Structure 1
């Protein structure tokens, strides 16, 4: 299955599952406790996102100060952004996925997977914009004008 098909199914099915789960939990504990729980997870998620974001940025700056490339931190930043967006979305499934994005060991494993499976292939094969099997760009660029 292609990534766009998976994303489409995710965006289609998750809201239905979220509504069902919110109604089921609301039926068990009541409407106001359910709303309070959703608001609490959003506030807790925002606070954790702030903490994790500052820690990642601090490690980013430390790596730059040491002269090394902050590879993991560059990948972890968007993971934190996705996690924050999921935590601010009302619902329990998105909160679970958002908290998973904020969990440092899991986030590091996801970043490691992305680096090893996707970025290293791009580096080894050259530019991602050059067609597969195309010759390296050794040509000089310039203008040509034929004068008689």
Structure 2
């Protein structure tokens, strides 16, 4: 008996459908711009531009990472975790800066322009809005889910380790080790 293998992949929807085409178009555009630049300043000039932008991108990423590390260690020394709205702003600022550095490391003129846009303060402020919205939305939707599927926004824990109101019957002697 022969078996027929059916391709069970779902068709792609939305942007993921056109992502390979967009990446290919981006690469072709980057190469075309590099060829145009080579016609203006020469091959060694293009290599110099690419090396300088990669070094600048590496320096930016290193600086942003060190700043984030210092902020984290200072918060740990103080004993307080920074979880307010200012913490989200710091995290998204660091994320946009690191994205700018990564774009500078990528070879190409468009990626360099986008990387510089991530580092230039007015455009960086505009670009930070997108991850800030995403982080705020994801933290607002955080809920605790019980094994039975019920959503519990939180519980009050008494000093002896048992909950004040135990609607699920976890505070019975049959489950506790004495």
Match of 2:32 in 1: 20
Question: Shift of the alpha carbon at 1:85?
Answer: 2.5
Please state if 1:61 is matched with 2:61: no
Q: How many residue pairs are counted as aligned between the two chains?
A: 136
Please state if 1:119 is matched with 2:130: no
Bigger CA radius of gyration? 2
Match of 2:60 in 1: 48
Q: Which runs of 5+ in 2 are unaligned?
A: 1-12, 154-166, 171-178
Query: Residues 37 and 136 from structure 1, CA distance in 2 versus in 1: closer, same or farther, beyond 3 angstroms?
Result: same
Please state if 1:36 is matched with 2:48: yes
Structure with the largest fraction of helix? 1
CA distance in 2, matches of 1:141, 1:7: 51
Deviates more, 1:6-15 or 1:89-98: 6-15
Q: What's the TM-score once normalised by structure 1's chain length?
A: 0.67
Q: Which of 78, 81, 87 is the aligned partner of 2:104? A: 87
CA distance in 1, matches of 2:74, 2:121: 17
